[in-house]
Amino acid sequence: MEKLFDKIYGSLAGLIIGDIMGMPSEFLTPLQIKEQFGYIDSFCEPAKDHIHPDLKRGQITDDSEQSIYLIEQYHRDKKITVKNSARAIQKWAKEKDAFNKSYLGPSTARALKRIEEGDDPHETGSFGVTCGSAMRVVPIGLIHPGDFKGTLPDAIKSSLPTHGTDVAISAAAAIACAVSEALSNRATVDSVISAAIRGARDGSKHGRPAVAASVEKRIELALDLVKKTKTLKQAGQILFDYIGCGMDANEVVPVVIALFYAGNGETMQLIRAGANIGGDTDTIAALAGALGGAFRGINSINANLLQEAEKINNLNVHKLANMVIETSDVFQTLEVL
């Protein structure tokens, strides 16, 4: 139990630190990042003309915020459904004044408006193809440690309210299943990659069909590309050039999985690689950090950065990890580990 807690704690810490570290470089090219920051390896102040003018150094974005709201909702309800997933995102949008913030994603904004109008949350995400559900799905994997069969359906439920297409669900399932496997005592880099591919494959069988490249196939392509590189920096550049690092689900998630492989699951290296890769850097760094933290545990996290992140954002990540453990106990015993 102690080791599992350390992995859950590490995953949440990696998610939050990655989100913060990747925020100032979001939607910049690798060259622009180099020109503005040199190399990002700590929390930085965004430029004055940053895409999110309402964010300051050390602040989290919607990636962490939505994940936290889901954890709190699932902990209260002791269940995961489409409706309570939608309720958590609605609560987040209201309390964080999301429609007046710069970081509300297009798919989530459209879906939230439909939900507010009374539409069925099983249908409101029917046009979402971006990475919004993948970015917030880490709690699903954490609640189901080492349990693929439990993770997949709940990843789908979590995705549907805002991202109900097959490509978005595939991406969310890939991340959730990878995180779930990373928590297991038996986990290896290869087994985590296999869980991600299986999650992507099985997840793609659900949701409204979208005209989009396969997440599963892009993961496989991304892995083939990084196997030819010698450093994590080279891996990041080739992924940016050939897979893309925009906000589409079938770009972000293959990049995260390939970085995890190229970086051998080393959490802080993955976070730094994500923050400097270009494109949707806060999501890439957050998910890479969450996956690395789940695999390597809390001792792989820079304790000073975690302390600073908690202070700036008024967070208690240890408490969040306990909430995940308490929720997980409702769903399953830990015998699967």
Domain ranges of the chain: 2-336
> pLDDT at position 107, please?
84
Helix ranges, the chain (H): 2-22, 30-37, 62-77, 82-95, 106-116, 132-135, 138-143, 148-159, 166-182, 189-203, 215-226, 232-242, 249-262, 267-276, 281-296, 303-313, 317-331
Fold classified for 2-336? ADP-ribosylglycohydrolase fold (1.10.4080)
> pLDDT at position 337, please?
41
> pLDDT at position 98, please?
80
> pLDDT at position 334, please?
38
> pLDDT at position 52, please?
80
What is the pTM for the complete model shown?
0.96
- 1 exposure class (CB count in 10 Å sphere: 0-12, 13-18, 19+): exposed
> pLDDT at position 332, please?
61
Instruction: Identify any residues that bridge with 130 across adjacent strands, giving them in sequence order.
Output: 248
Q: Which segments in the chain show pLDDT lower than 70?
A: 331-337
> pLDDT at position 335, please?
39
Write out pLDDT tens, residues 309-327. 999 999 999 999 999 999 9
From residue 136, alpha-carbon distances to 35, 50, 85, 171, 176 in Å are 30, 23, 11, 11, 9
